[in-house]
Amino acid sequence: MSSVDYGGARWSGVTTAAVMRVMREIADEAGATFMVDMAHFAGLVADGVLDGEFDPVPYADIVTSTTHKTLRGPRGGMILCKNHLAEYVDRGCPLVLGGPLPNVMAAKAVALREALMPEYRVYARRIVENARMLAESLVKQGAKVITGGTHNHIILIDVRPYGLTGRQAESALRSTGITVNRNVIPGDTNGPWYTSGIRIGTPAVTTLGMGTAEMRAIGRILGEVLHATHPGTGKTESQRLSRFDLAREISGQLRSEVEGLLQNYPAYPRVILEDATAESPTGE
């Protein structure tokens, strides 16, 4: 059985929406099975942000997805397929799956139930709104955003204009409290390990409750970090492609801004964390 594998690692850096109807037509013309991995954008499909010919479910023969990322469930996955392929899917999956964990199964059920709620629709649409605002803010900061913006939750930035590799940019941002990941970009000149780009997503900050105002602030901080970072030195190529220089005072100032932003949006607002260094009532 031949196949067209659309998605997987390749979708992880795609900021546009694919027309699934056209992909279906190509698969039919080639006599191929059409498979879509919607792991990254499953939450936008569940809500209907990506609907019609952008929704892979009506068009694909097989749809795979994780249950985390935009779907906001536990780490795990699921496979949907047409009836005539169920035998093949059911035969193959037990060979590559680990033991069933009841807690993860329950968490998947909760996540799918949440995806049916009106609040989830608000969340999913805000993901895209935040991503577009963040991309707009980055462009204003002079960043080279691939495709000029985004149609989903992903922003991809070419960091070569700053004289950096993706690994250097990733590490510099981490030093200020911002987590992104390096990512290959079209025409990448630094290869898949060091890369020439970084990838940013908005589901996590959206879940925290942040909106467009915060995206403008984050975009400004990102821009300041990238502008202030310079390639490091080293004796080996590996060192030259990974080391970076960022003035400590600038890093500290921007990290304080990040921490101040996060204080207004705690990950677990109902949980009060006690100071582990405080003296206990018994003096122990």
**Stretch 209-215: mean pLDDT:** 96
Least confident stretch, 57-66, 85-94, 201-210:
85-94
The angle, 0 to 180 degrees and rounded to 10, between the axes of the packed helices 212-228 and 248-263 is 170
121 in a domain, yes or no? no
pTM (predicted TM-score): 0.84
278 in a domain, yes or no? no
Among candidate residues 63, 85, 114, the one where a domain is terminated: 114
195 in a domain, yes or no? yes
Count of domains observed in the chain: 2
99 in a domain, yes or no? yes
Residue 76 shares a structural domain with residue 165: no
Residue 134 shares a structural domain with residue 253: yes
pLDDT at 4: 40
pLDDT tens-place string over residues 225-266: 999 999 999 899 999 999 999 999 999 999 999 999 999 998
pLDDT at 147: 86
Q: 256 is in which domain, residue-wise?
A: 128-263
245 in a domain, yes or no? yes
Residue 259 shares a structural domain with residue 133: yes
Residue 61 shares a structural domain with residue 134: no
* CATH number of the CATH domain containing 205: 3.90.1150.10
Q: Show Cβ contacts of residue 224 under 8 Å, excluding neighbours closer than 6 positions.
A: 141, 250, 254
283 in a domain, yes or no? no
pLDDT at 284: 44
271 in a domain, yes or no? no
153 in a domain, yes or no? yes
Do the Cβ atoms of 218 and 134 come closer than 8 Å?
Answer: yes
Residue 102 has pLDDT above 60, yes or no: yes
Residue 102 shares a structural domain with residue 145: no
Share of the chain above pLDDT 90, in %: 66
Tokens 């569940």, located at residue: 46
Six token digits for residue 80: 């949907």
